[in-house]
Amino acid sequence: MNSKENLKDLWKGFNIEHQLHVTISTTELIEEANFKVVYMNDLEKRKQVYGICGECNKPGTGKKWCQPCNAKRFKDNFKNWTSGNKDIDKFIKQSQLNAVYYLRYLEWIPFENFKDVTYITRGGFGKIYSADLPEGYIKYWDIENQKWKRDSNIKVALKSLDNSSCISTEFLNEVI
């Protein structure tokens, strides 16, 4: 495909009867909470439901989501951020490399990017805040403009963990 218009159109045809993502373990199609789940190994069904990626020409893994292409984009960006903790960075990176749709990845967002941070209460392991995130979270790759499309101006909950400088691999395994 040479034309940007053709690339943009390749994501059309998403079937709303299906969930926004795929499951990776089997090839059967099942009903789940009034949605059908298309399994990753069934390439023809993925192609029908999630369309074709306009960059690699393979079936998508979620609504406007191509796991192999997005994993490469995330990986190319690893050098541009750090949480300051190698275990947390590894945890976030693994989520990005394995994400089959937009609600299945983590993203490091510097505290300065949050606005109107307001204390709510103290929880079991730290303090809880609400905040605005003007930039929002990544929803999909905009093929035409070659940048992430974000769901912007969202309200989020933040939790500061007691002793967060001591987060270990064991703690992160519990989160998983």
Which pTM does this prediction carry?
0.77
Separation CA 6–CA 108 (nearest Å)? 33
Q: Which domain holds residue 61?
A: 4-175
Identify the top-confidence range among 97-106, 107-116, 153-162.
Answer: 107-116
More confident residue, 108 or 16: 108
Strand ranges inside the chain, DSSP E: 18-23, 30-32, 35-39, 115-122, 126-133, 137-142, 147-151, 154-161
Which DSSP letter does residue 4 get? H
pLDDT at 31: 44
User: What is the per-residue burial (b if ≥16 Cβ within 10 Å, else e) of 51-84?
Assistant: bbbbbeeebbbbbbbbbebbbebbeeeeeeeebe
Which DSSP letter does residue 10 get? T
Report pLDDT digits (tens) over 9-62: 555 555 555 555 555 544 334 444 445 566 667 788 888 888 889 899 888 888
One-letter amino acid identity for 131? A
Separation CA 147–CA 140 (nearest Å)? 9
Question: Which of 137, 133, 82 lies closest to 112 in space, CA to CA?
Answer: 133
Report pLDDT digits (tens) over 123-157: 777 899 999 999 999 999 998 899 999 999 999 99
Report pLDDT digits (tens) over 66-96: 999 999 999 999 999 998 888 889 999 999 9
Strands 126-133, 115-122: pairing kind: antiparallel
Count of domains for the chain: 1
pLDDT at 77: 96
